[in-house]
Chain A
Amino acid sequence: QSVLTQPPSVSAAPGQKVTISCSGSSSNIGNNYVSWYQQLPGTVPKLLIYDNNKRPSGIPDRFSGSKSGTSATLGITGLQTGDEADYYCGTWDSSLSAGVFGGGTKLTVL
């Protein structure tokens, strides 16, 4: 049971937009920055979004992040088959004094 809650799976057609939610509490998302990671099959997790909505260099602007209260959202526009991957949200939990991840969301591009 993860501290952060993500939907197990989402799907959309190529070219469409999808959003992935990440729900937490005041001790984690509510008072700390959120990061998002993409893990393509058989590869190392890759940072997509940090500090709620910032993109590292090299990450296309098709990927966006937002936060409201105790929830965060990853948005992906112009879906490509190459976007099929597991996506994880992560943040710090001030009550646990520990890092926490969501359970992951598998994106299928139909």
Chain B
Amino acid sequence: QVQLVESGGGVVQPGRSLRLSCAASGFTFSSYGMHWVRQAPGKGLEWVAVISNDESNKYYADSVKGRFTISRDNSKNTLYLQMNSLRVEDTAVYYCARSSPTDYWGQGTLVTVSS
């Protein structure tokens, strides 16, 4: 069965960095694009970034452009989100999701940016 497991969340100070991982199993990871979507506490869904199956295309939300980098390692079936210059407003649960359609989501990992 398809599984997506995020890790790497935690508490970090503003301005610092964090790298999230999403381990995929149960499907041919290298055949699918992948998204990161986040949800701030008590708020709605916010799309963050997407990467094509072969890493040739990457797109970002304006709110994270220039600070976050999406990448993947198809040999390890793993998706990454490198988050730099973190801000308080980046506090959220971060989900990875398979595309397209976005039919499978991970359980999410909580990132808290606080001094």
Contact = CB atoms under 8 A, between A and B. Distances in A.
B44 A99 contact: no
Contact of A98 (B60, B105, B107, B108): B60
Contacts of A102: 44
B47 A104 contact: no
A63 interface: no
Q: Size class of A's contact patch?
A: 20 to 34
Given A98-B59, A98-B60, A99-B35, A44 B47 contact: no
Contacts of B103: 47, 50, 56
Interface in A83-102: 86, 88, 90, 96-102
Given A50-B101, A99-B50, A44 B45 contact: no
Most buried by A among B47, B100, B107: B47
Contacts of A96: 62
A99 B47 contact: yes
A88 B61 contact: no
A45 B50 contact: no
Contact of B44 (A35, A88, A97): A88
A73 B37 CA distance: 22
Given A44-B106, A50-B101, A90-B47, A97 B59 contact: yes
B31 interface: no
Contact of B47 (A39, A51, A98, A103): A98
Nearest to B98: A47
Contacts of A99: 35, 37, 47, 50, 59, 61
Nearest to A97: B59
Contacts of B101: 35, 47, 50-51, 56
Interface of B: 35, 37, 44-47, 50, 59-62, 95, 100-103, 105-108
